[in-house]
Structure 1
Amino acid sequence: MKFRTKPVKGTFEVLPEDMELRNWVKETINKVYASRGYTQIETPCIENLELLNNSDGGENLRLLFKILKRGEKLKFDDLSENALCDLGLRFDLTLPLSRFYANNRNDLPMPFKAFQMGYVWRAERPQKGRFRQFTQCDIDIIGDKSIYAEIDLMITVPKALYELGFENFTIKINDRRLLKELVLSAGFEEDDFNTVCITVDKMDKVGNQGVVEELVSKGFAKDKIDNLMKNLNSDLSTFDNEYSKELEKLINVVSKKYPIVFDSTLVRGMGYYTGPIFEIVSDEFKGSIAGGGRYDNLLNKFQKEPIPAVGFSIGFERIISIFKENGFKIPNKKKKIGLVFIDDKYIDKAISMSEELISDGNIVSVYNFNKNKIDKRMKRLRNEGYEEIIIVDEK
C-alpha cells in the first residue's frame, strides 16, 4: 500500500530555512517580553472537553478538535458527543493559561506577568492564511484590574514588533462595555449582544453591507440594524462614563510612544472579553498582526474569588507569511562555513578547525565529499547559504 506524503490539509511542514526564521522571530519576541518582567510558561495541548465547551470561545467552539474516549471508557451504546468524547485540542492559549493560573496560583506572584508560545488547533476550512494547526504567541497579566495593565501590554507588544522590523503600524482600541452600549441603544436586546458582535466582527472582511445582510438574515429588524450602523461611527467623545475616561487615559499615555486610535467597530471574536479590546494593524499589510483584550471573568470558572486578567497575542503565522512574501533576511546572522575533506587523514584537522571557527562565532559544518562529485556538492552548499567553503588538506 502506497501512502500519501502530503501533510494533513490545514497543516504545514517547516523546512530548515523556515525553521530558522521562526526561531529568530520567537527569540526576538522572547527577549523583549523577558526584558519587561514577563516569564515564560507552557501549557498542555489537550484540555478537558467540558472546560473547552464552556469557555465563551465564540465561533471557535464550532471548530473544536475532539478526542474520542479510550479503552473501556469508549462505549457505542450512546452516540452523543458527551458520551464519545472527553478531551479536545486547545483552540487558543488564553483558556489554558486561566486553568494553569488557578492550578498553580499559590506558587505564582501577584500580579502574574506571563507569556507563552505554542500550537493551537481549529477545525477551519483550509485556505490561504487559515490553518488547522498554527502557532499563537500570547502575553498576559493576571491579577491587575487597573488600566495600567493594558498600558504595560501596549508598550511591550509594539516594542516586540518594532524589534522584528515593523514600524508603520497603529493600535486600535475599543471596550466591550462601550460596544454593548452602542448595541443596546440601537434597540437590540442584551441577549442579542453576542450574536450581533459575531457579525460585526466580520466587518473588515465583508464590509458594512455584508454586516447588514447577515444581521437581516438572522431575523433582526431593519430599523435596529440601521441604528446600529450609525452608532458604530461614534468616537470616544460620544461616551461619558468611567470606561471611556479610562480609555482616554490609556490613549494619552500610549500615544506618546506608538500610534493609537479609538475604533467603535472593533469587536474581537471571543465572547470572554469583558473590557478593553485592541488590535494592531499594519499600514503596509492588510489585516491585523496582533490583538487581545481584558477577560476578567474567565478565571471565575475555577474559583469563587474574581481575578482580573488581560492579554495580547501577536499573529505569529501572519508575521511569518509577511516575512516570506517579502523575502525577509534575518539580520546579523552568523556566518556559515563549510569544511570539506576528501581524504580521511584530514578528519582530525577538519574537526579542530571547526571547533576554532565555532568559538569565533561562526556556524560550521564538516563534510566528507567524494572527489568525483565535489563540484556538484559544493554548489549545493552555496545554495544552502554557506558563504565560505574550505577544502581541508595539507594547505
Structure 2
Amino acid sequence: MKIDNSPARGTRDLLPAAVAVRDHVLSTITEVYGRYGYQRIETPALERIERLSGGEGGENEKMIFQVLRRGLPDRLEAGTELAELVDLGLRYDLTVPLARFYGQNRAELPTPFRSFQFGPVWRAERPQKGRYRQFYQCDIDMIGEPGVLAEAELIEATTDALNRVGLTDTTVRLSDRRFLATLAAEAGVAAEAQDGFFIALDKLDKIGWDGVSEELVRRGFPQDVVTAARDRIEALGETPAEKVADMLGDVLPTLPQEVVADLATTTSCLSQISAEQAVRWEFDPTLVRGMGYYTGQIFEVAYPGAAGSVAGGGRYDNLVGRSLGTDVPACGFSIGFERIVDLLAAPPSGQRLAVLYDADVPTPRVLAAARDLREGNRAVAPVRRSGKFPAQLKRLEAAGFTAFVHLRADAEPGTRLEERLLRQE
C-alpha cells in the first residue's frame, strides 16, 4: 500500500528559507516585547473540553479539534453521546489557556503580570489560501491592570514591534464593546439579541451595508432597528480623531461617562504614539471582533495590502475570573503571525558559508576547517563535492548559502582557504 506523503489537509511543511523569515520575525517581536517588560510563558496545546467550549470563544468554538478519551472500546453502543467520548481539545487561541494559567499560578506572578506567548493553535477551518488548520499565534497580555494604561501600552508595544519587523504605515482601529452595547440598546436591540446583531455587523467590511441589513432582517431584526443603528454608526464614521469623545456623548446620550473618559484617555495616548511612530489611528464604530469574552475597548491594526487585520485584541475582564471565582482585569493583543510572515516574502540577510570538500579529504580535517571558519558566529556547513562544479554552486545558492570555500585533498594542511561569493553583485 502506497502511503500519501503530503501533509494533513489544512496544514503545511515549511522549507528552511520560510523558517528563516519566521525566526527573524519572532526574534524581532520577542526583543521588542522584552523591552516593554513582557515575560515569555508556555501553555499546553491540550485543554479540558469544558474550558474550550465555555461559550466565550465565539465562532471558534465550532471549530475545536476534539480529542477522544483514552481507553474507549473498539465498538460503542448505539445512542452514545459525543460528550461521553471527549474530554480534551486542541486550543483554538492562546487567551483561553492564559486565563487558566493565571488562575492556577496567580500566587507566583507579579501584579500587573505582563505575559508573552508564541505557539501553535488549531481550528477546523475550511482549508483555503491564507487559512490553515494549524497556525501560530503571538500574544501579549496584561493581567491585573484595571486602567487604560494596559490598552495604550499594548498598542504602543505592538505597533513598535510591527514597525521593527518592517510593517510601517499601519492604522490602529479602535472601538469599545460597551459603546457597541449602548448603540445596540438605543437602536432598539434587546440585550439577549445583541450577539446575533454584532455577528452580522462584523461582516460590514466584506458585504457592505446592504448585505448587513439583509442579514439582520433575516435574523429577525425590524428594519427600523437596523436603520436606527446605521444612522448612529454613520454619524460617528467620519468623526475626526480629536473629536471622538465629544461626538460619542452627542450621538449616544446614554453612553456611560466612564466609557467616554476611557476612550478619551486612550485616543490621547494614540495621538502621542502616532507622533513618534509610523502609525495612524481612527475610531471605528463598526469594529466588533468575534470573541465573546471582550468586555471593554477593542482594537485592530490594518496594513495596506493585507486582506485583513495584522493584529487585534481588547479587554476581557471576566475571563480570568472563571478560574478564580472573582473578576480580574485583563487586556491582550494578538499579532497575526502567519499573515505578517506572508507579507515579508524576502528572507533576512546573513552569511552562510559552505565548506565544499573533496571526497578523499579526511573527516577530521573537514570538521576542523568548518570549526575554524565558524569564528564570529557565522553559519558554516560542510558539503561533499559532487557532480559538475557550476551546477553544484547553483544548488548551494538555492539552499541559502551565500559563499563557499573549496577544501581540496591535495592542499597542504594549514593552507588558507579562499572564500568566494556564490552570487557576484
How many angstroms does 1:301 deviate by? 1.1
Letter in 1 for 2:93: D
Cα pair 1:55 1:95 within 8 Å, conserved: no
Q: Which residue of structure 2 aligns with residue 141 of structure 1?
A: 142
5+ long unaligned stretches in structure 2: 237-243, 250-256, 275-279, 416-425
Q: Does 1:128 align with 2:129?
A: yes
Cα pair 1:74 1:84 within 8 Å, conserved: no
Q: Which residue of structure 2 aligns with residue 281 of structure 1?
A: 302
Q: Which residue of structure 2 aligns with residue 351 of structure 1?
A: 367
Q: How does 1:146-185 map to 2 (within 5 A)?
A: 146-185=147-186
Q: Take 2:34 and 2:385, find their aligned partners in 1: how far apart are those partners?
A: 44
How many angstroms does 1:107 deviate by? 1.0
Q: Which residue of structure 2 aligns with residue 238 of structure 1?
A: 247
1:226-285 deviation digits (Å, cap 9, x = unpaired): 111122224333323211221111111122222221111000000100000000001343
Q: Take 2:342 and 2:112, find their aligned partners in 1: how far apart are those partners?
A: 34
Distance 1:378 1:347, change over 3 A: farther
Cα pair 1:341 1:347 within 8 Å, conserved: no
Cα pair 1:234 1:264 within 8 Å, conserved: no
1:117-156 deviation digits (Å, cap 9, x = unpaired): 1111111111111111111110000000001011110110
Q: Does 1:308 align with 2:329?
A: yes
Q: Take 1:158 and 1:128, find their aligned partners in 2: how far apart are those partners?
A: 26
Report the secondary structure of 1:7's partner residue.
coil
Report the secondary structure of 1:156's partner residue.
helix
How many angstroms does 1:355 deviate by? 1.9
Letter in 1 for 2:248: F
Q: Which residue of structure 1 aligns with residue 318 of structure 2?
A: 297
Residue of structure 2 aligned with 1:339, choices 355, 359, 376 = 355
Q: Take 1:70 and 1:202, find their aligned partners in 2: how far apart are those partners?
A: 40
Deviates more, 1:204-213 or 1:66-75: 66-75
How many angstroms does 1:360 deviate by? 2.0
Q: Which residue of structure 2 aligns with residue 66 of structure 1?
A: 66
How many angstroms does 1:81 deviate by? 2.2
Deviates more, 1:1-10 or 1:17-26: 1-10
1:294-332 deviation digits (Å, cap 9, x = unpaired): 0000012111222100000000111111123xxx241xx
Cα pair 1:340 1:366 within 8 Å, conserved: yes
Letter in 1 for 2:37: G
How many angstroms does 1:72 deviate by? 4.8
How many angstroms does 1:204 deviate by? 1.6
Cα pair 2:103 2:321 within 8 Å, conserved: no
Q: Which residue of structure 1 aligns with residue 97 of structure 2?
A: 96
Residue of structure 2 aligned with 1:383, choices 398, 401, 407 = 398
Letter in 1 for 2:351: K
How many angstroms does 1:223 deviate by? 1.1
Deviates more, 1:287-296 or 1:8-17: 8-17
Letter in 2 for 1:53: S
Q: Which residue of structure 2 aligns with residue 208 of structure 1?
A: 209
How many angstroms does 1:73 deviate by? 8.3
Residue of structure 1 aligned with 2:407, choices 388, 392, 395 = 392
Q: Take 2:192 and 2:388, find their aligned partners in 1: how far apart are those partners?
A: 73
Q: Take 1:29 and 1:74, find their aligned partners in 2: how far apart are those partners?
A: 47
Cα pair 1:141 1:149 within 8 Å, conserved: yes
Q: How does 1:241-260 map to 2 (within 5 A)?
A: 241-258=257-274, 259-260=280-281
How many angstroms does 1:167 deviate by? 1.0
Q: Which residue of structure 1 aligns with residue 44 of structure 2?
A: 44
Letter in 1 for 2:68: L
Letter in 2 for 1:193: Q
How many angstroms does 1:216 deviate by? 1.5
Cα pair 2:57 2:292 within 8 Å, conserved: yes
How many angstroms does 1:183 deviate by? 0.8
Report the secondary structure of 1:233's partner residue.
helix
Alignment RMSD (CA, Å): 1.7
How many angstroms does 1:361 deviate by? 3.1
Residue of structure 2 aligned with 1:272, choices 272, 277, 293 = 293
How many angstroms does 1:380 deviate by? 0.7
Q: Take 2:16 and 2:301, find their aligned partners in 1: how far apart are those partners?
A: 29
Distance 1:41 1:3, change over 3 A: same
Deviates more, 1:308-317 or 1:346-355: 346-355
Q: Take 1:283 and 1:374, find their aligned partners in 2: how far apart are those partners?
A: 44
Q: Take 1:284 and 1:278, find their aligned partners in 2: how far apart are those partners?
A: 19
Cα pair 1:297 1:308 within 8 Å, conserved: yes
Letter in 2 for 1:380: R
Q: Take 2:235 and 2:42, find their aligned partners in 1: how far apart are those partners?
A: 40
TM-score by length of 1: 0.94
5+ long unaligned stretches in structure 1: none
Q: Take 1:229 and 1:74, find their aligned partners in 2: how far apart are those partners?
A: 55
Q: Take 2:299 and 2:362, find their aligned partners in 1: how far apart are those partners?
A: 60
How many angstroms does 1:53 deviate by? 1.1
Q: Take 2:166 and 2:193, find their aligned partners in 1: how far apart are those partners?
A: 41
Bigger radius of gyration among the two? 2
Letter in 1 for 2:213: V
Cα pair 1:65 1:123 within 8 Å, conserved: yes
Letter in 2 for 1:385: G
Deviates more, 1:288-297 or 1:1-10: 1-10
1:146-170 deviation digits (Å, cap 9, x = unpaired): 0101111011000000000111111
Letter in 2 for 1:263: D
